[in-house]
């Protein structure tokens, strides 16, 4: 397949032949192979909440009590995950934690959500891998199919609307929506007695 001729304004600036081929220490590749073996076998056992928590801990992750990982959620590096008590990671959610991801207690990560703690530095020609951490507070609800980008920080008691895109810092106690996510209102709780 022939390529169109380069013009001065379309000079190729990426040189991916210079990219780092193995950006992780050797031991990480061994751990990833063991984790994938586990993920595609015993992780998938239905309703095995305790077993999944134990597996994450076995691989070096920190998991609080009564946290639920659905069988179809995907976690890339369990040893880079820290999650509090009474949380839920729903069906089809992806925890793409090339960098550390920290989630507080009583937080829900809904179905199809993508937590992405990995990117490339596109300002350098060889596009080196970067692993900025993600921090999600306690009492947070990240609704269906939201995208939480590298380096994002979400404050306590915040709601991230369905399909929202969070690429920065979100304050505590608000509702955000859209792409890019913007504060649409405060999260005001109703009196449960009414």
Q: How confident is the model at residue 194 (pLDDT cuts 50, 70, 90)?
A: low
**Helix/strand/coil for 154:** strand
Could you check whether the bond before residue 5 is cis, i.e. omega within 30 degrees of 0?
Answer: no
Q: What is the mean pLDDT of the chain?
A: 93
What does the domain layout of the chain look like in residue ranges?
A: 26-184
Q: Is the pLDDT of residue 1 over 70?
A: no
The H or E element spanning position 56 is helix 49-58
Q: Is the pLDDT of residue 94 over 70?
A: yes
Mean of pLDDT values over 65-81: 97
Q: What percent of the chain has pLDDT over 70?
A: 95
- The structure tokens listed for 68 are 């639920």
Q: 26-184 adopts what CATH topology?
A: UDP N-Acetylglucosamine Acyltransferase; domain 1 (2.160.10)
**What is the predicted pLDDT for the residue at 9?**
63
The answer to whether the predicted template modeling score (pTM) of the entire model surpasses 0.85 is yes
Mean pLDDT of 82-106: 98
Using one digit for the tens of pLDDT, what is the confidence trace for 163-187?
A: 999 999 999 999 999 999 999 999 9
Asked if pLDDT for residue 4 goes beyond 90, the answer is no
Going by C-beta distance under 8 Å and a sequence separation of 6 or more, which residues neighbour residue 94? 73, 74, 76, 113, 114, 115, 116
């Amino acid at each position: 397949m022939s390529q169109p001729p380069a013009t001065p304004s379309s000079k190729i600036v990426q040189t991916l032949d210079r990219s780092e081929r193995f950006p992780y220490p050797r031991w990480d590749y061994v751990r990833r192979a063991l984790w994938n073996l586990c993920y595609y076998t015993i992780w998938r056992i239905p309703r095995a909440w305790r077993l999944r928590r134990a597996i994450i801990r076995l691989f070096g992750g920190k998991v609080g009590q009564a946290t639920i990982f659905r069988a179809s959620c995907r976690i890339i590096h369990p040893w880079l995950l820290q999650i509090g008590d009474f949380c839920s990671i729903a069906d089809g959610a992806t925890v793409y934690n090339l960098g550390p991801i920290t989630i507080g207690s009583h937080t829900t990560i809904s179905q199809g959500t993508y937590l992405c703690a990995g990117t490339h530095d596109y300002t350098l020609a060889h596009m080196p891998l970067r692993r900025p951490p993600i921090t999600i507070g306690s009492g947070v609800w990240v609704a269906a199919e939201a995208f939480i980008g590298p380096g994002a920080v979400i404050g306590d008691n915040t709601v991230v609307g369905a399909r929202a895109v969070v690429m920065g810092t979100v304050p505590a106690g608000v509702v955000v929506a859209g792409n890019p996510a913007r504060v649409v209102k405060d999260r005001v709780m109703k009196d449960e007695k009414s």
